[in-house]
Amino acid sequence: MSDMRKTPTIQDVARFAKVSTATVSRALSSPERVSLGTRDRVSEAIRVTGYTLNQAARSLRQRAAKTILVALPDIRNGFFSSILDAIEREATNRGYSVLVANLYLGHESARRLEGYLFSNRADGLLLLDGSLDPQALRVLTTAPHSFPMVVACEDIPNAGFHRVLTDNQVAAERATRHLIDLGHRRIGHLVGPENNVVARERNAGFVSALRQAGIEPNPQWLIRGNFEMQAGFAAAARFMTLSERPTAVFAANDESAIGFLSGLRQQGIECPRDISIVGFDDLEVAAHYRPALTTMRQPRETLGRLAAETLIDLLEDDGTTRSAMHIVLNCELIVRGSTAPLAQ
Amino acid sequence: MSDMRKTPTIQDVARFAKVSTATVSRALSSPERVSLGTRDRVSEAIRVTGYTLNQAARSLRQRAAKTILVALPDIRNGFFSSILDAIEREATNRGYSVLVANLYLGHESARRLEGYLFSNRADGLLLLDGSLDPQALRVLTTAPHSFPMVVACEDIPNAGFHRVLTDNQVAAERATRHLIDLGHRRIGHLVGPENNVVARERNAGFVSALRQAGIEPNPQWLIRGNFEMQAGFAAAARFMTLSERPTAVFAANDESAIGFLSGLRQQGIECPRDISIVGFDDLEVAAHYRPALTTMRQPRETLGRLAAETLIDLLEDDGTTRSAMHIVLNCELIVRGSTAPLAQ
């Protein structure tokens, strides 16, 4: 490679990608006329060399798509589909279209998102999945690419990104305290996926509420889950094998709470007679489940709307530098039939 | 207007739209540089004059987006979100991105979809909403525009469109016959939204199964609904006011069945002791509801995958004429705890 302290030129990019400068230029202006493999090599070369596109050209190119990319861990989950609904409404109001990329609970990488942005299919990124590598994301959000990005729902802390979130830890404390207030002392937690930031925050809130009440969390009662109904159902079978069982469980989300309740019922455990359960999200079905589920309501519509609003504001504010936005919304405890005072 | 039997020219379009030919040309090649109002006027003028774009130019333009537009009635509904999931997987495998447009149960028109296609944001349309005007859609799918389109989930019959569907009427007959086989004769139907084609097909299947069994449907027992949980819940209150009540109900989908069950329970009606209920869709929660819901399982993954496959095949087959595809998938009766033999 040439001396990297010089401002890199299109020749540097071409040399690194082993293509002609005409190909580099075509890959930038009309990516559809270049093979995916070549485009990837050129993108990689731009990243490595730090080549800066002409800002005005980039800005023109950016605005052309009038499209935002929403990357989320699981479209099928009712939580994310209602956030997506709110995002789509706000984007449509502002004249933007919405591309969706399903990341299958973090099984994909930032690499796939680059494809949408480098090919000009999207102008900016609304990221609802906290599992992606912050370094890889920073490549997208800083010069030379500088794609606007807003992180929503699942936090990526300390990386300088714009963020629109709910206070998961505080809300999990509140949910757990509700169980303590009902007299429960043996309290378990049906946790979310390993390495998921929201799962970690809710777990931390659970532990902190117990400690504040002078209760030492029992590691046996941290029941493995992954936010899915089926995992909650499977967790019920493991719950039955515990020698000593909790009288109350805080589930990391409603889907797993419902699966867990369904599994427990098969085992003859009745809620709230034998066990109290709190969920998280307040999915529509929570109110119509039996028993109706006590849960923390996330302000899904507001969250989706604000996330889209923040990203579109950034897109339309091209050129000005903003300090990172950090919006945190509160959740609300909705008490229903799945929690009851500890039987004496 | 000039004589319409001549081949229309760009001058005709410009004259009709009251803009210069340069503006027409810009609206076609770089729509982002033209105001939305002007673009609309030009689109309208193209439609009215029947101006034919250079086919090669259009084809190049089309392929540039490598994006399909999925228009659906309600993203939040678990049925549509899992179809969207399957579409996104297939599209991603084939190198296409997915734009979503939420039509809010038919409250929007084909006009909005034009915007995505005319602005080159999408190459073709996957339409999951049967409520749009076939005439307006035909403008999009025939010359001069000729955008490929596939209708999925909700049929638009007799319009010559490519269609990937399930056999709603046959499946509704099967669901109703299940109740008849259990000895029920007083059978009601919680219907879907008025003017929704799927709701009509399921209603027709319900009526036909009853008639085949020599039972005359009671119009009092056609209970108004709209596929939403809340509407099912509200329907339960109306159900209670009936002087004579059915012993079994076929609900047009699972969401409304769950809301209905939840509402009935509040009124002291127990399922399946007092009433049997069959749903439609087999949402994930159906198996975990209490009672677990008997329902018609729609092959959602296959449906979404085939719909995306069909559309992308059409996009990549540019130039060849195909006769309209018509794929119909079968549903499967899943018997669970919400249906029981009529108590003697």
Coil vs helix vs strand at B71: strand
CA distance A2 to chain B (A): 34
What is the rounded distance in angstroms from the CA atom of residue B136 to the CA atom of residue B246? 42
Q: Which residue has the tokens 């931390």?
A: A204
Coil vs helix vs strand at B218: coil
Half-sphere exposure of B291 (CA within 13 A, CB side): 22
CA distance B21 to chain A (A): 21
Half-sphere exposure of B133 (CA within 13 A, CB side): 12
The answer as to whether B24 is a domain residue is: yes
A103 and A215 both lie in a single domain? no
**DSSP notation for B24-50:** HHHHHH-GGGS-HHHHHHHHHHHHHHT
For the beta carbon of residue B82, count every other beta carbon within 10 angstroms: 21
Does the pLDDT at position A111 exceed 80?
no
End-to-end CA distance of chain A: 75
What is the rounded distance in angstroms from the CA atom of residue A130 to the CA atom of residue A153? 8
CA distance B290 to chain A (A): 6
B292 sits in which H/E element? none
Task: Give the pLDDT score at A51.
Answer: 67
Of all residues in chain B, the one with the smallest CA distance to A261 is B288
Taking CB atoms and an 8 Å cutoff, what residues of chain B touch A82? Answer: 75-76
DSSP state of A277: E
Q: Phi and psi at residue B268, in whole multiples of 5°?
A: 85, 10
A160 and A309 both lie in a single domain? yes
- Residue B278 forms beta bridges with which residues? B250, B294
Taking CB atoms and an 8 Å cutoff, what residues of chain A touch B98? Answer: 99-101
Across the range B6-19, mean pLDDT stands at 80
Task: Give the pLDDT score at B56.
Answer: 35
A158 and A183 both lie in a single domain? no
Does the pLDDT at position A284 exceed 80?
yes
Supply the mean pLDDT for chain A.
88
CB under 8 Å to A244, separation ≥6 — which residues?
A186, A220
> Among A77-91, A310-324, B12-26, B163-177, where is mean pLDDT lowest?
A310-324
Does the beta carbon of A336 lie under 8 angstroms from any beta carbon of chain B? no
The answer as to whether B340 is a domain residue is: no
A245 and A209 both lie in a single domain? yes
Q: Which residue has the tokens 């447009």?
A: B101
The answer as to whether B62 is a domain residue is: no
Q: Is A57 exposed, middle or buried (0-12, 13-18, 19+ CB in 10 A)?
A: exposed
> Among A112-126, A196-210, A223-237, B270-284, where is mean pLDDT lowest?
A112-126
Contact call for residues B242 and B231 (beta carbons, < 8 A): no
Task: Give the pLDDT score at B256.
Answer: 97
A188 and A75 both lie in a single domain? no
Query: Under an 8 A CB cutoff, do B285 and A285 touch?
Result: yes
Does the pLDDT at position B7 exceed 70?
no
Highest mean pLDDT among A289-298, B69-78, B114-123: A289-298
CA distance B189 to chain A (A): 20
Q: What is the pLDDT of residues A38-51, one digit of tens each?
A: 877 877 787 677 66
B289 and B318 both lie in a single domain? no
Taking CB atoms and an 8 Å cutoff, what residues of chain B touch A100? Answer: 84, 88, 98-100
Does the beta carbon of A111 lie under 8 angstroms from any beta carbon of chain B? no
For β-strands B248-251 and B187-190, DSSP reports them as: parallel
Coil vs helix vs strand at A327: strand
Number of domains in chain B: 3
Task: Give the pLDDT score at B6.
Answer: 59
Query: Under an 8 A CB cutoff, do B262 and A65 touch?
Result: no
Task: Give the pLDDT score at A321.
Answer: 54
Q: Which two tokens stand for residue A38?
A: 């070549």
B271 and B295 both lie in a single domain? yes
CA distance A214 to chain B (A): 35
Contact call for residues B81 and B135 (beta carbons, < 8 A): no
The answer as to whether A55 is a domain residue is: no
Task: Give the pLDDT score at A59.
Answer: 40
- Which amino acid appears at position A215 of this protein? I
- Residue A343 forms beta bridges with which residues? none
Q: Residue B14's closest CA among B36, B34, B41? A: B41
Coil vs helix vs strand at A68: strand
Query: Under an 8 A CB cutoff, do B262 and A287 touch?
Result: yes
Coil vs helix vs strand at A194: coil
Task: Give the pLDDT score at B140.
Answer: 86
Does the beta carbon of B337 lie under 8 angstroms from any beta carbon of chain A? no
Does the beta carbon of A79 lie under 8 angstroms from any beta carbon of chain B? no
A75: nearest CB among B74, B84, B99: B84
Task: Give the pLDDT score at B49.
Answer: 75
- CATH (domain of B27): 1.10.260
Does the pLDDT at position B116 exceed 60?
yes
The answer as to whether A52 is a domain residue is: no
Q: What is the pLDDT of residues B300-341, one digit of tens each?
A: 999 999 999 999 999 887 555 567 889 999 999 999 999 999
Helix, strand, coil share (%) of chain A residues, nearest 5: 45, 15, 40
A117 and A187 both lie in a single domain? no
Query: Under an 8 A CB cutoff, do A88 and B75 touch?
Result: yes
Of all residues in chain B, the one with the smallest CA distance to A69 is B99
Query: Under an 8 A CB cutoff, do A88 and B76 touch?
Result: no
B306 and B157 both lie in a single domain? yes
For the beta carbon of residue A2, count every other beta carbon within 10 angstroms: 12
Across the range A154-181, mean pLDDT stands at 96
CB under 8 Å to B3, separation ≥6 — which residues?
none
CA distance A95 to chain B (A): 9
Task: Give the pLDDT score at B224.
Answer: 94
B-contacting residues in A 170-229 (Cβ below 8 Å) = 229
Residue A210: alpha-carbon gap to chain centroid: 26
Task: Give the pLDDT score at A83.
Answer: 96
A73 and A39 both lie in a single domain? no
Coil vs helix vs strand at B226: coil
A187 and A293 both lie in a single domain? yes
Supply the mean pLDDT for chain B.
88
Query: Under an 8 A CB cutoff, do B85 and A98 touch?
Result: no
Q: What is the pLDDT of residues A63-93, one digit of tens each?
A: 568 899 999 988 888 899 999 999 999 999 9
Of all residues in chain B, the one with the smallest CA distance to A233 is B288
Does the beta carbon of B65 lie under 8 angstroms from any beta carbon of chain A? yes
Coil vs helix vs strand at A259: helix
Q: What is the value of pTM for the model shown? A: 0.82
Across the range A314-324, mean pLDDT stands at 72
Q: Is the peptide bond before A8 cis (omega within 30 degrees of 0)?
A: no
Taking CB atoms and an 8 Å cutoff, what residues of chain B touch A116? Answer: 97
Query: Under an 8 A CB cutoff, do A285 and B258 touch?
Result: yes
The answer as to whether A265 is a domain residue is: yes
Contact call for residues B264 and B279 (beta carbons, < 8 A): no
Taking CB atoms and an 8 Å cutoff, what residues of chain A touch B97? Answer: 99, 101, 116, 121-122
For β-strands B276-281 and B248-251, DSSP reports them as: parallel
Contact call for residues B56 and B271 (beta carbons, < 8 A): no
Task: Give the pLDDT score at B106.
Answer: 55
Q: Which residue has the tokens 């709307």?
A: A305
The answer as to whether A103 is a domain residue is: yes
The answer as to whether A340 is a domain residue is: no
CA distance B234 to chain A (A): 12
Q: Is A146 exposed, middle or buried (0-12, 13-18, 19+ CB in 10 A)?
A: middle
Q: Residue A247's closest CA among A239, A259, A255? A: A239
Does the pLDDT at position A126 exceed 90?
yes
B213 and B270 both lie in a single domain? yes
Q: What is the pLDDT of residues A190-219, one digit of tens each?
A: 999 988 999 999 999 999 999 999 999 999
Does the pLDDT at position A172 exceed 50?
yes
B262: nearest CB among A32, A74, A288: A288
Q: Residue A226's closest CA among A188, A252, A197, A187? A: A252
Q: What is the pLDDT of residues B61-94, one digit of tens each?
A: 445 688 999 999 888 888 999 999 999 999 999 9
Highest mean pLDDT among A319-323, B98-102, B173-177, B193-197: B173-177
For chain A, the maximum distance between any two Cα atoms, rounded to a whole number of angstroms, is: 80
Task: Give the pLDDT score at B60.
Answer: 43
CA distance A233 to chain B (A): 8
- CATH (domain of A145): 3.40.50.2300
Query: Under an 8 A CB cutoff, do B98 and A97 touch?
Result: no
Does the beta carbon of B284 lie under 8 angstroms from any beta carbon of chain A? yes
In chain A, DSSP assigns E strands to 67-72, 97-102, 124-127, 149-152, 162-166, 187-190, 222-223, 248-251, 276-281, 294-297, 326-329, 332-334
Task: Give the pLDDT score at A57.
Answer: 41
Task: Give the pLDDT score at B62.
Answer: 47
Query: Under an 8 A CB cutoff, do A288 and B261 touch?
Result: yes
Q: ipTM, 2 decimals? A: 0.80
User: 3-class secondary structure for A100-168?
Assistant: EEECCCCCCCHHHHHHHHHCCCCCEEEECCCCCCHHHHHHHHCCCCCCCEEEECCCCCCCCCEEEEECH
Structural domain boundaries, residue B158: 67-167+300-329
Does the beta carbon of A32 lie under 8 angstroms from any beta carbon of chain B? yes
Across the range A305-327, mean pLDDT stands at 83
CA A196, A201, A206 angle in degrees (round to 5)? 125
What is the rounded distance in angstroms from the CA atom of residue A339 to the CA atom of residue A333? 12
Q: Where are the alpha helices (DSSP H) in chain B?
A: 10-17, 21-29, 36-49, 55-65, 78-93, 110-118, 134-141, 168-181, 197-212, 229-240, 254-266, 284-288, 300-316
Task: Give the pLDDT score at B145.
Answer: 77
> Among A37-51, B46-60, B230-244, where is mean pLDDT lowest?
B46-60
Does the pLDDT at position B144 exceed 80?
no
Taking CB atoms and an 8 Å cutoff, what residues of chain B touch A88? Answer: 75, 100-102
Q: Which tops the pLDDT comparison, A203 or A135?
A: A203
Taking CB atoms and an 8 Å cutoff, what residues of chain B touch A89? Answer: 102
For β-strands A332-334 and A294-297, DSSP reports them as: antiparallel
Q: How confident is the model at residue B99 (pLDDT cuts 50, 70, 90)?
A: very high
DSSP state of A71: E
* Disruptive mutation site among A30, A227, A256, A288 for chain B (greatest number of B CBs within 10 Å): A288
Q: Which two tokens stand for residue A258?
A: 């419902």
What is the rounded distance in angstroms from the CA atom of residue A69 to the CA atom of residue A97? 9
Contact call for residues A295 and A281 (beta carbons, < 8 A): yes
Q: Which tops the pLDDT comparison, A306 or A119?
A: A306
**DSSP notation for B253-291:** SHHHHHHHHHHHHHTT--TTTT-EEEEEE--HHHHHSSS
What is the rounded distance in angstroms from the CA atom of residue B324 to the CA atom of residue B303? 17
Task: Give the pLDDT score at B48.
Answer: 75
